[in-house]
């Protein structure tokens, strides 16, 4: 008897008799309901339940996905505390993936803050309590020499987008080690929820290389390696092997997004890999995309030009330098030379003004680009008096850094001061919206890094813009993997930034809103993806051939369908593979 093919053997698990189909017992009905990719809960029709062996395992009611979404929303809103809302969403995603993403797409304004900023920071602080298995792939430095084998343990083989952290600089909390794992999980969730990337293409990874913060590492509930971080040489060898293993396992087109890596490591890895792999760092490059978009809108409202701005940064870490570098590229695009562009940008870190001859010692090479040739200035207020900035951007994770005096000085020197207090979580924000409007007497154009309600001041209602990278990276990732981009140039991030600002309307400007409303995030991601694909083909960065004749249709065809497929069709497709 001839040997049956793999396809035939799999098809035999489904038997057809007289036009009817029944499922043999090798895969139980309960197992089907525990498969998050397949499960539809009460949306299974009576016929599907009978054919798949799950009849009786569900109540008789049959609901469509829209009814399920509204029921889930009712359950979600009944939960009192933020951390429980986070765990509810994670559990829903692990149980019924399409319903989870449909809920996010339908009610993103209510649900997104509890799978991403700001609640993801609370999840990191309580990582041992909220852990759900498996949410991310953990690769430890003790796996060195065998990273490829660990990657093979992830159940999905067709991975096209990876978000990876080593927990070295989690939001404003610093080194959290393995307890930073909720960050990449939250990011890849937005790949799908906003960017439309199919969830089985996404892989969140935590590289556990140890933790230097003793209060985290020595906590009895800490889940990571109980060791300090390794020397740079050992660390770099480990990350090199990781990147090579990704290419070996998933191919050179797999995009790798680095997230919340320690400052020194983040800049070094970006410099090392940016033209070798399809990779980017959202804390550095993604922050620049959205900040520049908001700044562009602020200039439209205040009727000024980019080359007329003087921008002072409170904070010179990944976000500060990332925004400054993209701003520098944009200023050069406006016709300024290198020196003119740099003259518009001042940075202040924890040691004061970033200047060549300051007494605190040498500067890192990444700060030298924007170092001033002048006497050292320590206080932020004195920097403002000297530079008279039109824009003040806070990325220092220092709560209260924008004091009353700082805000009053900004209002003194500017008719419409632009003030971005971008640090996350809210407890680390440089100032509140209420403080900014009160101390500038309502003159400022203000944005913050976390969701904030509208604010009433002096009888007027002011919209508070959230300047967060969620406006940018989902669309960048979707566009990059759609065309199999070889690497991401600075121009890609300018394309994304210009796309975001172009979606603001006159109504947005009348409300002093510097970015499109949150209910346009999916549209924003789609437009970014299309523009990234178009730029990639024009610049010979796209590996996928031939070039599509209709880019919008090309991108849309690759996006995740939020609606249920017929259960029998889904299973047959799986068996046909």
Contact 468, 135 (CB under 8 A): no
Model confidence over 479-521: pLDDT tens digits?
999 999 999 999 999 999 999 999 999 999 988 899 999 889 9
Specify the higher pLDDT residue, 424 or 73. 73
Q: Is there a catalytic annotation at residue 228?
A: no
**pLDDT beyond 50 at 451:** yes
Tell how far CA 430 is from the center of its chain: 21
pLDDT at 117: 86
- Looking at residue 569, its pLDDT comes to 57
**The predicted structure's pLDDT at residue 366:** 85
Domain chopping of the chain, boundaries: 29-108, 116-281, 286-469
CA dihedral 270, 137, 192, 548 (to 10 degrees): 60
Task: Provide the CATH number for the domain formed by 116-281 in this structure.
Answer: 3.40.50.10380
Q: How confident is the model at residue 217 (pLDDT cuts 50, 70, 90)?
A: very high
Asked if the model's pLDDT at residue 13 lies above 50, the reply is no
% of the chain surpassing 90 pLDDT: 79
Q: Where does the pLDDT of residue 8 fall: very low under 50, low under 70, confident under 90, or very high at 90 and above? A: low
pLDDT at 376: 86
Q: Does 116 qualify as catalytic in the annotation?
A: yes
Listed in order, strand segments (DSSP E) in 403-513 are 418-421, 445-448, 455-457, 460-462, 465-466
- Out of 23-27, 222-226, 457-461, least confident range: 23-27
The stretch 182-206 carries a mean pLDDT of 96
Residue-wise pLDDT tens digits, 35-70: 898 899 999 999 999 988 899 999 999 999 999 999
pLDDT of res. 358: 79
Give the model's pLDDT for residue 549.
97
Within this chain, domains 29-108 and 286-469 share the same CATH topology: no
Whether 18 shows a pLDDT value over 50: the answer reads no
For residue 456, the model assigns a pLDDT of 87
> Element (H or E) spanning 223, and its range?
none
Residue 207 has pLDDT above 90, yes or no: yes
Pick the catalytic residue: 86, 101, 116, 366? 116
Lowest mean pLDDT among 98-102, 116-120, 147-151: 116-120
According to the model, what pLDDT value does residue 249 have? Answer: 98
User: Which pLDDT score, from 0 to 100, does residue 356 have?
Assistant: 87
Instruction: Write down the pLDDT at residue 25.
Output: 46
* Strands, sheet with 202-208, edge to edge from the N-terminal-most edge strand: 137-140, 202-208, 161-165, 255-258, 279-281
Pairing assessment for the beta strands 345-349 and 352-353 based on DSSP bridges: antiparallel
Distances (CA, A) of 518 to 311, 385, 467: 26, 36, 11
CATH code, residues 286-469: 3.40.50.720
- For domain 29-108, give the fold: Hemocyanin, N-terminal domain (1.20.1370)
Annotated binding site for (S)-malate: 169, 424, 468
Contact at 8 Å (CB) between 480 and 498?
no
- Please say whether the beta carbons of 177 and 216 come within 8 A: yes
Span 182-210, average pLDDT: 96
pLDDT given for residue 565 in this prediction = 82
Mean pLDDT computed over every residue of the chain? 91
From residue 45, alpha-carbon distances to 14, 201, 263 in Å are: 18, 28, 52
State the pLDDT at residue 543.
Answer: 97
Q: Tell me what percent of the residues of the chain surpass a pLDDT of 70.
A: 93
Task: Give pLDDT tens digits for 116-143.
Answer: 988 999 999 999 999 987 789 999 999 9
Tokens standing for residue 234? 């050992």
Of the residues 40, 85, 102, 187, which is catalytic? 187
**Which of 421, 361, 352 is closest to 384 using CA atoms?**
352
Query: 567 pLDDT band (50/70/90 cuts)?
Result: low
Contact of 504 with 516, CB cutoff 8 Å: yes
Detail the residues annotated as belonging to a binding site.
169, 259-260, 283, 424, 468
Degrees (nearest 5) of the Cα angle 577, 550, 200? 30
pLDDT at 424 exceeding the cut of 60: yes
Burial class of residue 63 (count of CB atoms within 10 Å of its CB; 0-12, 13-18, 19+): middle
pLDDT, average across residues 224-241: 97
555: tokens are 């991108």
H or E element in which residue 239 lies? helix 232-250
Least confident of 21-35, 325-339, 368-382: 21-35
Q: Which residues are annotated as a binding site for a divalent metal cation?
A: 259-260, 283
Q: Are 440 and 416 in contact (CB under 8 A)?
A: no
What is the mean pLDDT of the segment spanning 16-39? 65
**Chain Cα centroid distance, residue 556:** 21
pLDDT in tens, 348-403: 998 899 998 777 667 888 898 899 988 889 999 999 999 999 999 999 989 999 99
pLDDT of residue 29: 79
12 compared with 88, residue with greater pLDDT: 88
Helices 82-95, 97-106: axis angle to 10 degrees equals 130
């Amino acid at each position: 008897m001839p040997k049956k093919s793999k396809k035939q053997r799999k098809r035999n698990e489904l038997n057809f008799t007289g036009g009817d189909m029944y499922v043999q017992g090798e895969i139980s009905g309960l197992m089907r309901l525990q498969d998050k990719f397949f499960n539809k809960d009460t949306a299974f029709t009576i016929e599907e339940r009978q054919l798949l062996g799950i009849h009786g395992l569900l109540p008789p009611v049959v609901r469509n996905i829209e009814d399920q979404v509204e029921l889930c929303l009712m359950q979600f809103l009944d939960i009192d505390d933020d951390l429980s809302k986070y765990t509810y969403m994670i559990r829903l995603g692990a149980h019924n993936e399409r319903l989870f993403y449909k809920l996010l797409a339908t009610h993103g304004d209510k649900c997104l803050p509890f799978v991403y900023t700001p609640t993801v920071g609370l999840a990191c602080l309580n990582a041992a309590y909220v852990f759900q298995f498996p949410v991310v792939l953990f690769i430890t430095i003790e796996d060195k020499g065998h990273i490829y084998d660990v990657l093979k343990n992830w159940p999905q083989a067709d991975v096209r987008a990876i978000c990876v952290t080593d927990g070295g600089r989690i939001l404003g909390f610093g080194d959290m080690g393995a307890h930073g794992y909720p960050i990449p999980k939250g990011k890849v969730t937005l790949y799908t929820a906003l960017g439309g990337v199919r969830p089985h293409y996404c892989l969140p990874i935590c590289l556990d290389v140890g933790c230097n913060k003793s209060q985290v590492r020595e906590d009895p509930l800490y889940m990571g390696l109980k060791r300090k971080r390794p020397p740079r040489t050992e660390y770099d060898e480990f990350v090199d092997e990781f990147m090579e293993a990704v290419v070996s396992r998933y191919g050179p087109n797999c995009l790798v997004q680095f997230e919340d890596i320690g400052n020194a490591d983040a800049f070094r890895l970006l410099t090392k890999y940016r033209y070798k792999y399809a990779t980017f760092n959202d804390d550095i490059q993604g922050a620049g995309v959205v900040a520049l978009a908001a700044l562009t809108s602020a200039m439209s409202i205040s009727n000024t030009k980019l080359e007329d701005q003087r921008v002072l940064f409170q904070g010179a870490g990944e976000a500060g330098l990332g925004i400054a570098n993209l701003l520098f590229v944009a200023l050069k695009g406006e016709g300024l030379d290198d020196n003119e562009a740099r003259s518009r940008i001042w940075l202040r870190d924890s040691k004061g003004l970033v200047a060549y001859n300051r007494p605190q010692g040498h500067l890192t090479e990444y700060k030298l680009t924007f170092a001033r040739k002048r006497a050292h200035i320590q206080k932020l207020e004195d920097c403002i008096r000297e530079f008279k900035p039109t824009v003040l951007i806070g990325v220092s994770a220092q709560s209260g850094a924008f004091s009353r005096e700082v805000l009053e000085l900004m209002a003194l020197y500017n008719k419409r001061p632009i003030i971005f207090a971008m640090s996350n979580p809210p407890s680390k924000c440089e100032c509140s919206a209420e403080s900014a409007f009160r101390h500038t007497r309502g003159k400022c154009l203000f944005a913050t890094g976390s969701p904030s309600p509208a604010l009433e001041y002096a009888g007027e209602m002011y919209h508070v813009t959230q300047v967060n990278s969620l406006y940018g990276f989902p669309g960048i990732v979707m566009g990059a993997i759609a065309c199999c981009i070889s690497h991401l140039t600075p121009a890609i991030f300018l394309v994304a930034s210009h796309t975001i600002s172009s979606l603001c309307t006159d109504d947005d400007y009348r409300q002093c809103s510097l970015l499109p409303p949150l209910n346009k995030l999916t549209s924003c991601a789609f437009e970014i993806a299309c523009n990234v694909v178009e730029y990639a083909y024009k610049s010979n960065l796209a590996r996928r051939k031939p070039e599509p004749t209709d880019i919008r249709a090309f991108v849309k065809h690759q996006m995740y369908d939020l609606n249920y497929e017929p259960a029998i069709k889904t299973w047959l497709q799986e068996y046909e593979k």
